[in-house]
Amino acid sequence: MLTTDPRLPVTLLTGFLGSGKTTLLNRILKEAHGQRIAVIENEFGEVGVDNDLLLESEEQIVEMNNGCICCTVRGDLTRILGELVAKRANGTLHFDRVLIETTGLADPGPVAQTFLVEPEVAQAYRLDAILTLVDAKHAMAQLDQHEIAQEQVGFADRLLLTKTDLVSEAEKAALIARLVDINGRAAIYETLQGQGVDLAALLDVNSFSLESVLEREPDFLASGHHHHHNNAISSFAFTTHGEFDPARLDEFFGALVQVYGEDMLRYKGLLAVTGQAHQIILQGVHMLVATNVGRPWAENEARESRIVFIGRNLPRDIFEKGLRQCIGKPW
Ligand SMILES: Nc1nc2c(ncn2[C@@H]2O[C@H](COP(=O)(O)OP(=O)(O)OP(=O)(O)O)[C@@H](O)[C@H]2O)c(=O)[nH]1
């Protein structure tokens, strides 16, 4: 998707241990796509292991080895991104985009937050999308046993299913049903040994920008289909033809994040607001809520609002009731 945003796009690659992140990254770096990519690696333990695996590429690779990305992330990531942009400005580094590979145990939340709250970072970079790899062979057990695996799925803009060569069609279908239950928003792709998925589907997704993904995925959870898995993380959408009263909505979200912020992994909305000719785009990660002005509503367009929430055991009825109380007047 074309964007006029001059900031450098950043893609976050996440996924549980062994899900195939390095395999995919290697393929991306080797492909003749004409993009110059700076890679930030965050690995536990041994220095340089993954660096050695990144073959034959001229991309710039920076490693963060001092612990888990989600613990030290805000400070370290801010510093590294600052250094990269400074080197780019003085001509010592040449790159057009950044790819961050997190460790298999990382929570993508703090990384995403860095782009929303650190002013120096937000000025130079835009988080384009979170890509989460899912190991088709092991994901069911990982999702059962590790909430962080569910969180990684919950945060995703794109889910990339790996190792489908090792499972039956029925196993794959069951896993996909579970992934949709956790995160009904993310498009699902399959990749075998890092191959088979078009780079254009992974880069420039523009998922954190004004042209929200909601517009392109209007049938989010429309089927009302419900699967019964024990997922702590799940998603739901709120849709209304009423217009939101901005003051009430502001107050409601302020209270909502106080109570549930920690469990609100990601939420996105495209809103019709009373007295506002433009669409309002709402983005949130945990307690951080950001709103931006989108495109104007067209003259005959239904001013429908839609908010998607992905989180941990969120009480849907409370959210819906609160949101309904923020509707000013029916359209
Ligand atoms: N059968 C099969 N194996 C795969 C596929 N993709 C990756 N693998 C293998 O899975 C193993 C783990 O892949 P990596 O790319 O190292 O996974 P990772 O997510 O970077 O792993 P960590 O950094 O340890 O979290 C490797 O042996 C890969 O060759 C696939 O589509 N099919």
Residues within 6 Å of ligand 1 by CB = 15, 17-23, 104, 162-163, 165-166, 192-193
Residue 100: C-alpha distances to residues 10, 108, 268, 278, 306 (Å)? 7, 11, 22, 33, 30
- Over residues 291-311, mean pLDDT: 87
Sign of CA dihedral 198, 199, 200, 202: positive
The pLDDT mean for the chain works out to 81
Rounded distance, CA 307 to CA 298, Å? 20
Q: How confident is the model at residue 226 (pLDDT cuts 50, 70, 90)?
A: very low
DSSP annotation of 19: S
Angle (CA) 72-78-83 rounded to 5° is 125
Do residues 36 and 28 make contact, with C-beta atoms less than 8 angstroms apart? no
Which one is the CATH code of 8-208: 3.40.50.300, 2.40.40.20, 3.40.718.10, 3.40.50.2300? 3.40.50.300
pLDDT tens profile 206-217 = 776 544 434 444
Q: Which of 42, 210, 3, 5 is nearest to 124 (CA)?
A: 5
Tokens standing for 35? 């993009």
Position 9 scores a pLDDT of 93
Position 176 scores a pLDDT of 96
The total of other beta-carbon atoms located within 10 Å of residue 103's CB is 20
Do residues 21 and 133 make contact, with C-beta atoms less than 8 angstroms apart? yes
Rounded distance, CA 32 to CA 86, Å? 26
Rounded distance, CA 153 to CA 159, Å? 7
- pLDDT over 60 at 65, yes or no: no
- pLDDT over 80 at 239, yes or no: yes
Q: Which positions ≥6 away from 127 have C-beta within 8 Å? A: 10, 12, 112, 115, 116, 208
DSSP sequence for 267-313: EEEEE-BTT-SEEEEEEEETTEEEEEEEEEPPTT----EEEEEEEES
Could you identify the residue written with the tokens 């209007």? 218
- pLDDT over 50 at 50, yes or no: no
Give the nearest ligand 1 atom to 16 CA.
Answer: 25
Distance 21 CA to ligand 1 centre (A): 7
Position 79 scores a pLDDT of 84
The total of other beta-carbon atoms located within 10 Å of residue 10's CB is 26
Residue with the larger pLDDT of the pair 175 and 311: 175
- Over residues 109-129, mean pLDDT: 85
3-state secondary structure of 130: strand
pLDDT tens profile 162-184 = 999 999 999 999 999 999 989 88
Residue with the larger pLDDT of the pair 230 and 310: 310
Q: How confident is the model at residue 185 (pLDDT cuts 50, 70, 90)?
A: confident
pLDDT tens profile 75-104 = 778 888 898 999 999 988 888 899 998 877
Could you identify the residue written with the tokens 């569910």? 150
Distance 57 CA to ligand 1 centre (A): 19
The residue nearest atom 14 of ligand 1, judged by CA position, is 20
Q: How confident is the model at residue 143 (pLDDT cuts 50, 70, 90)?
A: very high
pLDDT tens profile 6-42 = 899 999 999 998 899 989 998 888 887 778 888 888 6
Q: How confident is the model at residue 43 (pLDDT cuts 50, 70, 90)?
A: low
Distance 7 CA to ligand 1 centre (A): 31
Question: What is the gyration radius of the CA atoms in the chain, in angstroms?
Answer: 20
Most informative mutation of 12, 14, 16, 22 for ligand 1 (most atoms within 8 A of CB): 22
Where in the chain are all domains bearing CATH 3.30.1220.10? Answer: 227-330
Residue with the larger pLDDT of the pair 229 and 106: 106
Position 172 scores a pLDDT of 96
Rounded distance, CA 275 to CA 281, Å? 15
Q: What percentage of the chain has pLDDT greater than the value 70? A: 81
Position 86 scores a pLDDT of 92
pLDDT tens profile 241-274 = 989 999 999 999 999 999 998 888 888 888 999 9
Distance 19 CA to ligand 1 centre (A): 5
Q: How confident is the model at residue 192 (pLDDT cuts 50, 70, 90)?
A: very high
- Over residues 285-296, mean pLDDT: 82
Q: Which amino acid is at 119?
A: P
Q: How confident is the model at residue 160 (pLDDT cuts 50, 70, 90)?
A: very high
Fold of 227-330: Hypothetical Protein Yjia; Chain: A;domain 2 (3.30.1220)
Distance 165 CA to ligand 1 centre (A): 12
- pLDDT over 50 at 47, yes or no: no
Where in the chain are all domains bearing CATH 3.40.50.300? Answer: 8-208
Distance 316 CA to ligand 1 centre (A): 36
Q: How confident is the model at residue 55 (pLDDT cuts 50, 70, 90)?
A: very low
The residue nearest atom 30 of ligand 1, judged by CA position, is 163
ipTM computed for the complex? 0.97
Tokens standing for 39? 């890679």
Q: Which amino acid is at 37?
A: I
Most informative mutation of 12, 23, 51, 102 for ligand 1 (most atoms within 8 A of CB): 23
